[in-house]
Structure 1
Amino acid sequence: MLVDQVKLCVGIPVYNEVNYLARMLDSLKAQTCDDVKYLVCDNHSTDGSWELIRERCAGDARFVLYRHVENIGAAKNTEFLIDNSRSEYFMWLGAHDYISSGLLKESVECLDDCPDISLVAGKPFRFVGDSKPVFMPEAVYEFSPRRLERYLQSVRLLTNCTIFYSTIRRSSLEGMEFRRVRGLDHVILSHLLWYGDVRYLDNEIYFRRYFDDVRAVDYSQRITGNRDVLTMHDLVVYYLDDLQKLYRGDARILRHLENLVIGILADRYTLQSLHAPDDREYWMSRP
């Protein structure tokens, strides 16, 4: 473990973000939350990010810094952050984003007061370059209070996943397996929403950076750290395997839920060949 036991740990995965790090790090320094650590993990950047991080964080005991000896990919770096911290609550923060000064304190208080909540999100604002941040209504979701309906809504509705950068109840990640897939954040969010709803703060903001141009490294390469090609089929399998861990009831209901998930994903991603196997031996062999 890199980070000792604290109430809240914020994990920041970094890869070649030198132009944006100062604002993000300064927003963490300005937080009013007590009993918090910031785990900044550089994924072997080549643009001077690591040097800037070390300089900017010097003297602030809240920051714990780590650098990988090679690029392990965004998925493994995301997992590394939560695996190497011990805290009741956790948050991933984008290295090119930033947050309002009271967000962490208000998030912790909300999770303390509301045991049925799994995620607390800042009001989502977007910006490009130096543009004025604007509110993103498309990043705000209203989910059902009923677990199964809320879970299926998440599979169907999640497109803008800014709520991935919420403060989460670590216990809600119980049983979560991290995989190198397209849509990793979707599966993690659905898993979290199985255990509880999301709450949006009224007066604290998550500022998310968007980019006008196409980023130099394609999506699959960012996730894996190499040239592996990721397919949507892997996402479907990931969803089904995670659902099997979450649902502990009747096997027939599980199969029905799996078919619903497959149907939703097939419609969303135009995967017409997807179907649940009818082979009885296949279903009986599943744990």
Structure 2
Amino acid sequence: MSMSTVPRVSIGLPVYNGENFLAQALDALLGQSFTDLELIISDNASTDATAEICRRYAAQDERIRYVRQPRNLGGARNQAIVGEMARGELFKLAAHDDLYGRDLIARCVEVLDAHPDVVLCHADMAFIDASGEIIGRYDYTMATDSPSAPERFRSLLRTDGGDDEYGVIRTEVLRRVRAVDSYHNPGRPYVAEIALHGRFEQVPELLYFRRDHPDRGDRSPTISALCARMDPRRASHSNVRLLGEYVLGYFRAVHRAPLSTADRVACYRHLVGWLASRAANRSWRVARGGGRLAWRVPTPEVDVALPERPLP
């Protein structure tokens, strides 16, 4: 694909010091059965072999657009950059340490083409360890497929888990929502705002593999340290501020969304009720996706078909 050809799907891969798993992720993404795509890699001034790996792959596949940042901008800004660079009608965010079934993008595009009211599509997810072995499977129970915007919003507030930000989203919707922020648990208000623009669909096939390992970027012993990874300036911010901005993120999402007056009021009511319950329980969990991811050990019949594209 030449740079003058606009791809159907843009994949954005922000990365920082990802040498351990980056090549495997690139193989999985470039080996997709859906080929009308571009892969945008933003290297956040990595200090390991990330740049070397990216340049090697870019030299062999013209669908790759590789940029290297002159300094560490933080994870939030680096993620926003790949979205801003996207040219495709559809966009998928990817992580350098996850793996992707060969038909993941194809299945998601099929759903989006068949259902114009769906703004985001993802597939069933399993957890893998550092060696790529499945260690658990995630049960998606959120009502993000509801035709009701307040119900989708309520479900995202009340139900743990989900990696919806890594689904395939309509780029026009991506551009209408606020980019992911750097306060506590920023992905949750971000996904909630997307859900206020339309419903999600989940492909009932095991095609997304989230890698669980000690160096994963969303792991940290404290809220402030985790937020500092998203934006180095956050290191000096108090937990009160980081949690307060998290809550404010939901209010801003509802305020910006294209909702009727009745739906907007219903969302605010859900939000106030959720806040009251959290205050009563004094529970503010630090975890990606809004809380603990509920998972179960996969049954023996689970068939995982990962790409077998050789390393360059």
Q: TM-score, normalised by structure 1?
A: 0.84
Contact 1:152 1:261 in 2 (8 A): yes
- Distance change in 2, residues 1:247/1:177 (3 Å): same
- Distance change in 2, residues 1:256/1:146 (3 Å): closer
How far apart are residue 248 of structure 1 and its match?
4.4
1:152 is aligned to 2:154 = yes
Map residues 120-269 of structure 1 onto 2, 5 A cutoff.
120-130=121-131, 132-143=133-144, 144-157=146-159, 159-178=160-179, 179-212=181-214, 218-226=225-233, 227-229=235-237, 231-250=242-261, 254=264, 257-268=267-278
Counterpart Cα distance in 1 of 2:117 and 2:15: 32
1:101 is aligned to 2:111 = no
Matched position secondary structure for 2:176: coil
Paired letter, 1:261:
L
Question: Which string of whole-angstrom CA distances, capped at 9 and with x for unpartnered residues, describes residues 217-243 of structure 1?
Answer: 731121113424361100111111121
Paired letter, 1:146:
S
Counterpart Cα distance in 2 of 1:69 and 1:138: 40
Counterpart Cα distance in 2 of 1:46 and 1:174: 31
Please, what is the CA RMSD of the aligned residues? Answer: 2.6
Unmatched 5+ stretches in structure 2: 283-312
- Distance change in 2, residues 1:29/1:180 (3 Å): same
Paired letter, 1:126:
F
* Residue 30 of structure 1: aligned partner: 31
* Residue 277 of structure 1: aligned partner: none
Map residues 36-55 of structure 1 onto 2, 5 A cutoff.
36-55=37-56
Contact 1:41 1:65 in 2 (8 A): yes
Question: Which string of whole-angstrom CA distances, capped at 9 and with x for unpartnered residues, describes residues 164-183 of structure 1?
Answer: 21011122335312233222
- Distance change in 2, residues 1:209/1:270 (3 Å): farther
How far apart are residue 214 of structure 1 and its match?
7.9
Contact 2:129 2:211 in 1 (8 A): yes
State the percentage of identical aligned residues: 23
Q: Which moved more, 1:5-14 or 1:214-223?
A: 214-223
Question: Which string of whole-angstrom CA distances, capped at 9 and with x for unpartnered residues, describes residues 182-208 of structure 1?
Answer: 222111211221222222223351110
Question: Which string of whole-angstrom CA distances, capped at 9 and with x for unpartnered residues, describes residues 103-141 of structure 1?
Answer: 112211211111121211122010121152145234453
Contact 1:139 1:163 in 2 (8 A): no
Counterpart Cα distance in 1 of 2:255 and 2:197: 14
- Distance change in 2, residues 1:58/1:269 (3 Å): farther
Unmatched 5+ stretches in structure 1: 273-287
Q: Which moved more, 1:180-189 or 1:235-244?
A: 180-189
Counterpart Cα distance in 1 of 2:281 and 2:68: 39
Number of aligned pairs? 269
Contact 2:132 2:211 in 1 (8 A): no
1:57 is aligned to 2:92 = no
- Distance change in 2, residues 1:194/1:260 (3 Å): same
Counterpart Cα distance in 2 of 1:214 and 1:201: 26
Contact 1:182 1:232 in 2 (8 A): yes
Matched position secondary structure for 1:195: coil
- Distance change in 2, residues 1:228/1:176 (3 Å): farther
Larger relative contact order (CA 8 Å, sep ≥ 6): 2
Q: Which moved more, 1:64-73 or 1:144-153?
A: 144-153
Counterpart Cα distance in 2 of 1:62 and 1:162: 25
Contact 1:7 1:87 in 2 (8 A): yes
Counterpart Cα distance in 1 of 2:279 and 2:54: 39
Matched position secondary structure for 2:203: strand
Counterpart Cα distance in 1 of 2:192 and 2:150: 10
Question: Which string of whole-angstrom CA distances, capped at 9 and with x for unpartnered residues, describes residues 78-116 of structure 1?
Answer: 111111112211010111101011111221121111112
Contact 1:180 1:224 in 2 (8 A): yes
